[in-house]
A and B are shown apart, each in its own frame.
Chain A
């Protein structure tokens, strides 16, 4: 088990940034010139993109790789005997291996899906038939609907009991409650690695160790952490991990389930059809081996052909440096927003305990109006419940505004945000 926060420490030789604007050369934008969309103007202003937690922008190399696939290699996978079919299959399988190398697992433990949501549906739906009425599932109060609603549905179908691990006032998991919640009937513990609202980095390894002592399977939603925090699958100690390529500088329509070998064996397929079978008669079918067993139908080969270019970009920058950069931006955003006064800022106070995002609430300006007025200045933030309604209920607000960061952001973007919030307040006479 790794101690809490261990993988957050700056690697040797990297000076932690002090978060001061202007005098922080180490935390200048990383590779921003490689992201063509960032040259855009929005509402007559240069775009300030602060919505990377919803989806990151894509490096030109990713866009080019997807275009190249359709120009040069397009064919269906695992079917064609012809040259294009072989090339497409190679590109698709190379993506699987590349993701495996990125997270430290062999390729045959990487299932390609449409995204984190469909991967979570596969885990929940795939485990369902092996669970019995009265079995218990623990989810946390800070889950994205993608890691909550599939469990609600499976619980309803199979007669399972859903238990909730609460969030403290400080925006962290209330781990003191975990021992009472873990019982002899707990079968699954599902939690997010990084909260998409609070930013909190959860001590997944600690939770996983406790869950495993009880014989429960651990499902980690890594949608906000892959490509942003340095870690390997084994370090988390989980049985299943899911993420979407599009939040890690890759294309949309592509995601992954990474699992332990035994954990994957336990899953029943949830989609049936071509590609996932071994032998089919008119009345029966046997399943293909893992991972193909979980990949019915034609996948998003173009996106798979492009995603390795995103991982290459991340590796070139190094995850350590990207992490340091997000800590620096988050620390600066927390400090500047705090100093504005009157804003409620959610989640832990220390940037080291958070992913690269900050959600806030201004009692004078509703998040929609905030996002609209910021947009008029070319600043893109997300407003709403961020697909986490139970968490917002817990926080006592219907909606929040969220600024989230990618490698291409800098302190200047946060300065623009702070000025923009001031402008929004002035419109409402605050």
Chain B
């Protein structure tokens, strides 16, 4: 690849894009659900979570977006399963902060997995929203779940 493209389209990201996790519908009804969109480009995403025993057991993401948004959705599905809502929220917020900071570091305690690689996207400012879209949708789903009401649609412009 050329001109920094290998920094954006890292092998890990391409792999998530080729075979995204979390595509299968949830086995039962969703316990939390939110829609997200990026108004500047029209990309859309639907996120559903299944919870049991105080933890997220499964995530289903349907992303109609670019490779970065798709990979980010896949990483999200992989990472949130098994976390409590609070842990998932902490990870989403840390990622959002990292994407707007110069060094983009994510603390090891967060167990960030492939999300660490995705922070490299912050060097391409036009694509930061693509990487964030699934995570702000997650925050919206978690807010709604906490308050027991339907989630407000999440937007990268909000």
Nearest Cβ in chain B — how far from A328, in angstroms?
30
Q: Across the interface, name the chain A residue whose C-beta is closest to B37.
A: A398
Assess the A427–B42 pair: CB atoms within 8 A. Answer: no
User: Does A232 sit at the interface, judged by CB under 8 A?
Assistant: no
- The residue that A368 contacts in the complex, of B1, B17, B18, B130, with Cβ under 8 A, is B130
Assess the B127–A372 pair: CB atoms within 8 A. Answer: yes
User: Does B148 sit at the interface, judged by CB under 8 A?
Assistant: no
**Count of chain B residues with Cβ under 8 Å from any Cβ of A?**
25
C-alpha spacing A384/B130, complex, angstroms? 13
Assess the B65–A366 pair: CB atoms within 8 A. Answer: yes
Assess the A392–B65 pair: CB atoms within 8 A. Answer: no
A341 partner residues in chain B, CB cutoff 8 A: none
Assess the B66–A369 pair: CB atoms within 8 A. Answer: yes
User: Does A381 sit at the interface, judged by CB under 8 A?
Assistant: no
Assess the A43–B3 pair: CB atoms within 8 A. Answer: yes
SS class, residues of chain B in contact with chain A: mixed
C-alpha spacing A398/B44, complex, angstroms? 8
Assess the B42–A385 pair: CB atoms within 8 A. Answer: yes
* Interface-centre pick from B1, B3, B65, B126 (highest chain A CB count, 10 A): B3
Kindly supply a per-residue 1/0 record for chain B positions 63-105, scoring 1 wherever the CB is within 8 Å of any chain A CB and 0 otherwise. 0111110100000000000000000000000000000000000
- The residue that B43 contacts in the complex, of A44, A373, A399, A429, with Cβ under 8 A, is A399
Contacts A44-B3, A376-B4, A427-B5 given: A398-B18 contact, CB under 8 Å? no
Near B by CB (< 8 A), chain A positions 388-403 give 389, 392, 398-399
11 contacts between A and B (CB under 8 A): A43-B2, A43-B4, A365-B67, A366-B65, A368-B41, A372-B124, A377-B3, A398-B41, A398-B42, A398-B43, A398-B65
Give A contacts to B, CB under 8 Å: 43-44, 365-369, 372-373, 376-377, 383-385, 389, 392, 398-399, 427-429
Give B contacts to A, CB under 8 Å: 1-5, 8-9, 14, 17-18, 40-44, 64-68, 70, 124, 126-127, 130
